[in-house]
Amino acid sequence: MCRPRPQPVVLEQIETIAALRSRLTHGGAVGLVPTMGALHAGHVALIDAARRDSDLVVASIFVNPLQFNNADDLARYPQTLDADLSVCRDRGVDLVFTPSAAEMYPQPPECTVDVGRMADNLCGKYRPGHFRGVATIVLKLFQIVQPRFAYFGQKDAQQLAIIKRLTTDFNLPIGIVEVPTVREPDGLALSSRNRHLNAEERKIAVSLYVALTHAATMIREGARSAELIRRAAVDLVPQTAGLRLEYLEIVDPNTMQPLMEVDGPVCIAGAMWVGATRLIDNVLAVP
């Protein structure tokens, strides 16, 4: 389905749940783009996809404290609201929901979403509680906005798999739309955290993508032992100061569980510290 892009309108910024619900009373198809701000071309791809499918596009900008297990990481997360609103205006977003933490969590939540084993490895292993926070805020946004479609990038593969399972397990009538990862010309996945990289760090940051694509090439060429593929990919990551590979794993793209043998589509996912900046990436591979 492709809907014509509407004529430019005045962007509406809404800060309270009550006001947003009051505004969302018509019967058109609503597309939701949940973000934490610091918007870049990857977010633009999400917004553009929502604009094609939806009568009304809602973008949320909320740095969710519940998904940060490190207070310093939360404090360091970039917040660029004025620039973000400009991006939303330029791309035809109708409503931008910018609640405060007090609006979303008027009291510490007692009820959160238990994600289960899908959060046991990859990023979940190193960021305890992260995906509980992600699933909880996404469920809250779904309940508040009640969209027909919601848009998420493939770069956050574990998050995407968990949100898909969330909608299935809770019988949510929402279509989860995957949008391909947007990359720099050298392959580095766009991320709000990339702005923290200095010039030297930026040069070596692409090494994660190089390792992941090497593993995908091995699979296409017939390699089937996940461990042998993983080791070959890890060996390509430079042993240099300021760079530390946190993990590189080959998992089932739906369950995020590790695999011993490649006998179908797989997700090759990795996380790497470049200086003080943590970057994640993944590629899909089919034997």
Question: How wide is the angle at C-alpha 53 spanned by C-alphas 51 and 54, nearest 5°?
Answer: 70
Residues 17 and 104: their CA atoms lie apart, in Å, by: 8
* CB contact at 8 A, 55 and 93: no
H or E stretch at 203? helix 199-205
Residue keyed to tokens 């739906």:
254
Nearest in space to 36 (alpha carbons), one of 159, 149, 161: 159
Three-class DSSP category at 35: strand
Active site residues: 43
Residue 19 contacts residue 173 (beta carbons within 8 Å): no
* DSSP H or E stretch at residue 277: strand 277-285
CA 257/CA 249 separation, integer angstroms: 10
Cα distances from 118 to residues 108, 113, 125, 128, 156, in angstroms, run 24, 12, 10, 12, 13
Element (H, E) at 161: helix 157-169
